[in-house]
Amino acid sequence: MAAAAYEAAMRRALALAAHGPATGVNPRVGCVILDADGAVIAEGWHRGAGTPHAEIDALGHLEPGDARGSTVVVTLEPCNHTGRTGPCSVALIEAGVARVVYAASDPGVRSGGGARRLHDAGVEVIGGVLGDEVERFLGDWLPAARLGRPFVTLKWASSLDGRTAAADGTSKWIIGAAARQRVHEQREASDAIIVGTATVLSDDPSLTARGDAGELMPRQPMPVVVGVRQIPSDAAVFRHPHAPFIAPTHDLAQVLDHLFGLGVRRAFVEGGPTLATAFLAAGLVDELVVYLAPSLLGGPHTAIADIGVGTIAEARRLEITGVERLGNDLMIVAHPRDGGTILPATRPDPSRPLHSMEEES
């Protein structure tokens, strides 16, 4: 079968994968099964945690024995472990498939290894077909799986001169309605939204994702509050549709580790400049989303504080991967040029609590 046939089937599998939920523990995966002549005989995709994986979904559309000698094209390497469902690698072997073509390798310690198991059972395995496209599609899930912690997006909104508030501390609203609505859409696309205790004490945010009319959007992120200060029992965050996760610590790596164990794969950080700086300094930011308003504020309230750059040669150079105009504002998305996190981890200063600057913001 020609390579072009595998690529065509992989693109179809990618389109099928897009039907699955974009958030949660499991990746979006699509699968196409081809007969010996290259004709499609079954398709499937993963519909979320606890449901059949894409390969099993596709096999379920065939009668027993119909998959024998077929080629299975799947966006992610078939899993090799038993969770809520059994290993797809074993199911494919038992179905008698002749060949498995996949795009991206499964980085999971427990779930990975399906390709090796298939190969050892005599199944021909071809990996990396449209790998770059599928890597981009899986965006934040793959890095989270590789890192063993949530993929962290750090967002802030500022004036053109990098200020998040005026000299008197007022900040509503730096950006306009269209940009603020885009933030709510990004909240909905995240598993958790993280702020510091200072933000809760000063702004009393609900940390919900809301529509144009203020209505709750169908999916809500888990609210997470980091810091050691007490927050009032009547804070708006306690009226969130999900019970908030309160993390009375300054250890951000520990917080992310716990969230990962709770199934969080995409974290959206919206705290003040100290929390933002702490995440950056800890080497825990994978993506920046910066909203720029065409205004000048001056003054002390910068978006981030000292991140250890003493000279221009030490500047962390990023790649702008997205620019969107929203009303009169701009949204800029940036990633590190060389992979990894936005900043390499530095040793945190234990004498500098997370609330020290947020009280000023």
Per-block mean pLDDT, blocks of 10 residues, the chain (361 long) = 88 96 88 94 92 94 94 94 80 96 85 88 95 90 90 96 88 91 95 94 93 93 95 94 94 95 94 91 94 94 89 90 96 87 61 37 26
Domain boundaries, the chain: 3-138, 148-358
Percent of residues, the chain, with pLDDT higher than 90 = 72
User: 148-358: same fold as 3-138?
Assistant: no
Given this model, what pLDDT does residue 109 score? 63
Task: Decide if 266 contacts 188 (C-beta within 8 A).
Answer: no
Task: Decide if 303 contacts 277 (C-beta within 8 A).
Answer: no
Task: Decide if 359 contacts 307 (C-beta within 8 A).
Answer: no
CA distance 283 to 43: 40
CA distance 105 to 62: 26
User: Would you please indicate which residues are annotated as catalytic (active-site) residues?
Assistant: 55
Secondary structure of the chain in HEC code, one letter for each residue:
CCHHHHHHHHHHHHHHHCCCCCCCCCCCCEEEEECCCCCEEEEEECCCCCCCCHHHHHHCCCCCCCCCCCEEEEEECCCCCCCCCCCHHHHHHHHCCCEEEEEECCCCCCCCCHHHHHHHCCCEEECCCCHHHHHHHHCCHHHHHHHCCCEEEEEEEEECCCECCCCCCCCCCCCCHHHHHHHHHHHHCCCEEEEEHHHHHHHCCCCCCECCCCCECCCCCEEEEECCCCCCCCCHHHHCCCCCEEECCCCHHHHHHHHHHCCCCEEEECCCHHHHHHHHHCCCCCEEEEEEECCCCCCCCECCCCCCCCCHHHCCCEEEEEEEEECCEEEEEEEECCCCCCCCCCCCCCCCCCHHHHCCC
Kindly report, residue by residue over 169-194, the tens digit of the pLDDT. Answer: 888 889 999 999 999 999 999 999 99
Given this model, what pLDDT does residue 359 score? 31
* Own/partner long-range contacts of 246-252 (Cβ < 8 Å, ≥24 apart): 250/226, 250/278, 250/348, 250/350, 250/353, 250/354, 252/226, 252/278, 252/279, 252/282, 252/284
Our CA dihedral for 154, 155, 159, 163, rounded to 10 degrees, sits at -50
Task: Show the tokens assigned to 315.
Answer: 């500047």
Given this model, what pLDDT does residue 74 score? 97
Fold of 3-138: Cytidine Deaminase; domain 2 (3.40.140)
CA distance 287 to 317: 13
C-beta neighbour count of 82 within 10 angstroms: 11
C-beta neighbour count of 250 within 10 angstroms: 20
Given this model, what pLDDT does residue 24 score? 81
Given this model, what pLDDT does residue 128 score? 94
Task: Show the tokens assigned to 154.
Answer: 């750090």
For domain 148-358, which CATH number applies: 3.40.47.10, 3.40.430.10, 3.40.50.2000, 3.40.50.920?
3.40.430.10
C-beta neighbour count of 80 within 10 angstroms: 20
